[in-house]
Amino acid sequence: MKILITGGAGYIGSHVVKALLEEGGHEIVVIDNLCKGTQKAIDALKSVGAFEFIQMDLENIAKMDEIFKFNKFDAIIHFAAFIEVFESMSNPLKYYLNNTANAINLIALCQKYGVKNFIFSSTAATYGEPETGVVSEESPQNPINPYGRSKLMTEWVLKDAGAANRDFKYGILRYFNVAGASSDGLIGQNYPNATHLVKVATQTIVGKREKMSIFGDNYPTSDGTCVRDYIHVEDLAQAHLSVLRYLQNNDSSVFNVGYGTGFSVKEVIECAKKVSGVDFKVENAPRRDGDPARLISNADKLKAKTDWTPKHNNLEEIVQSALNWEKKN
Ligand SMILES: NC(=O)c1ccc[n+]([C@@H]2O[C@H](COP(=O)([O-])OP(=O)(O)OC[C@H]3O[C@@H](n4cnc5c(N)ncnc54)[C@H](O)[C@@H]3O)[C@@H](O)[C@H]2O)c1
């Protein structure tokens, strides 16, 4: 397949590029403006296999049109987006322009040039604050911040485009809490100001942060801290390959991507202390707006309908891979 990957120099995109290069048989073009992704990730991926890298912004529609004109893509995997929930509340238009408007332009190019497959990185944030804490693909979507809404709107556009043109198939993947790094240590999560729990814990272990915070310890959960579904980035990457295969013989579909298991913030911190042997400093802080108490996937559909089989469903392994990466970088 000839596959265009937007945001392929970023955290999740780079793991999918790596998985596709390792699978072999694909012609890959990566577009990234490197606003968050890194040349270092691109260079590391070049050691795995050959692909074309174009440094550019998706909003350059004329250049995008040219790229589509000269490449007959079989599939697009669209990662490029801004991802910081709290920033999206203070600067919503930045999110709607990049995550929604740029995505719509990309979908329009797919229609114009007859691209048949589109895989979209959506998020559990589109569910908002679900009552039960466990969500299936059919659960109501009530995002509570512009980031979640920017992604939900793109889902709607994809669904409408797919309904109007049956040759255009989409796979919407709603990721839960992505963590870890590649098992061989080649690539990992780069952002220094990350708010992701596992990343922050490993940064604290290696001394890049003096301490870390628990935001709220009076939630209605077993130990009072928020519960999330952590998925290893390599299993998440493989889900894209599985859904791409699924689309070759099936209709468009939406999939949760998680393990269906919840860990509390305190449990993750205890795990990080155990794995590292470092008793790092943790302090209690007030709740953050918009943090639901529990957010866990019902991921039965992905397992039942596709050939996806998770291989790293183990919190210690996730934390260890993230820690190895943090130590090396
Ligand atoms: N990290 C998570 O836990 C998580 C959870 C749910 C969903 N997602 C979704 O997964 C996708 C990838 O997230 P990530 O964690 O890898 O983030 P990331 O910031 O590491 O990757 C995004 C990449 O897109 C690039 N980019 C952004 N805007 C661009 C533009 N206009 N033109 C060209 N390149 C652009 C960035 O440089 C970066 O390399 C995002 O769409 C995000 O919404 C992530």
Q: What is the pLDDT of residue 123?
A: 98
Mean pLDDT of the chain: 97
Please choose from 4, 5, 6, 12 the residue to mutate so as to test ligand 1's pocket, defined by most ligand atoms within 8 A of CB.
12
pLDDT mean over 260-273: 98
Determine whether the shortest distance from the Cβ of 94 to ligand 1 is under 6 A. no
pLDDT mean over 45-59: 98
Whether pLDDT at 3 is above 80: yes
Confidence of residue 284 (pLDDT cuts 50, 70, 90): very high
Whether pLDDT at 10 is above 90: yes
For 295-317, the pLDDT digits (tens) are 999 999 999 999 999 999 999 99
Confidence of residue 72 (pLDDT cuts 50, 70, 90): very high
Determine whether the shortest distance from the Cβ of 7 to ligand 1 is under 6 A. yes
Q: In the chain, what are the domains?
A: 2-179+230-257 (3.40.50.720), 197-228+260-328 (3.90.25.10)
Please choose from 43, 60, 91, 121 the residue to mutate so as to test ligand 1's pocket, defined by most ligand atoms within 8 A of CB.
121
Determine whether the shortest distance from the Cβ of 128 to ligand 1 is under 6 A. no
Whether pLDDT at 140 is above 80: yes
| Spatial distance between the Cα atoms of 307 and 87, rounded to a whole number of angstroms | 36
Please name every residue paired with 32 in a beta bridge, in sequence order, or none if there are none. 55
Confidence of residue 86 (pLDDT cuts 50, 70, 90): confident
